[in-house]
Amino acid sequence: MTASAPPTTSGPEQDLCTSCGMCCDGTLFTFVEVAEDELSAVQQIFTLHAGAKGPVFHQPCTYNREHTCMVYNDRPQTCRAYRCKTLLALDAGEIALPEAARRVAETLGAKQAVEGHLECGETLNAARERRAIAATDQERSKTQLAFILKLTALDLMLDRYFRKRGKTMLS
Ligand code: SF4
Ligand code: SF4
């Protein structure tokens, strides 16, 4: 997760996000960048790791519980700033809340379909690596094919509704 816009604080946007949580639970991101000027505060509550551009903490975030941030008032700047494509469209008045909620519900359904194919403790990111290997396996089973198709359907939905231009699976 990288910063891109002002914070989400209240109202329909917050209702949407608390029904979703996909920018916190490892569906969209594998890590969250931490700004240098908040390092000392953030490392009080997160285990930080070296990232390509600086310190990060890993996703799924341990403070995401049932789509809700348990450290909301102390969440890092990147979290405060982040808005997915659907939230930006809602902010801009390009779509109404029912359409935003439909996108979230539909994508959560696609995610749930993938979860039945995950190995014990496997993250979606690890599953994406497994998909890349299975995709080249000429002797893959029907179960593996179903896993590939469902995960790809989820990623296409994430591209369409959540990931920004230049950040999509196909870009
Ligand atoms: S992915 Fe978008 S709608 Fe979902 S919680 Fe994050 S900002 Fe909110
Ligand atoms: S700190 Fe809160 S907003 Fe940030 S990734 Fe974790 S659960 Fe999400």
Ligand 2 atom nearest the C-alpha of 63 is: 7
User: 117 vs 24, 135, 141, 151, 158, CA distance in Å?
Assistant: 21, 15, 13, 9, 18
Pocket test for ligand 2, best of 64, 73, 78 (most atoms within 8 A of CB): 64
Separation of alpha carbons 28 and 1, rounded Å: 8
Nearest CA to ligand 2 atom 3: 79
Nearest CA to ligand 2 atom 5: 24
Measured in whole angstroms, how far is the alpha carbon of residue 127 from the centre of its chain?
14
Is residue 69 a contact partner of residue 79, using CB atoms and an 8 Å limit?
Answer: yes
Q: Which one has a higher pLDDT value, 96 or 8? A: 96
In tens, the pLDDT along 124-135 reads: 999 999 999 999
Ligand 2 atom nearest the C-alpha of 46 is: 1
How many C-beta atoms surround the C-beta of residue 162 within 10 A? 21
Separation of alpha carbons 18 and 142, rounded Å: 35
* Residue 15 confidence (pLDDT): 86
Separation of alpha carbons 167 and 159, rounded Å: 8
**pLDDT class of 1 with cuts at 50, 70, 90:** low
In tens, the pLDDT along 54-104 reads: 999 999 999 999 999 999 999 999 999 999 999 999 999 999 999 999 999
In tens, the pLDDT along 143-162 reads: 999 999 999 999 999 999 99
pLDDT value at 4 more than 80: no
Separation of alpha carbons 51 and 34, rounded Å: 10
Q: Where are the domains of the chain?
A: 12-161
Is residue 117 a contact partner of residue 150, using CB atoms and an 8 Å limit?
Answer: yes
* Residue 141 confidence (pLDDT): 93
pLDDT value at 5 more than 50: no
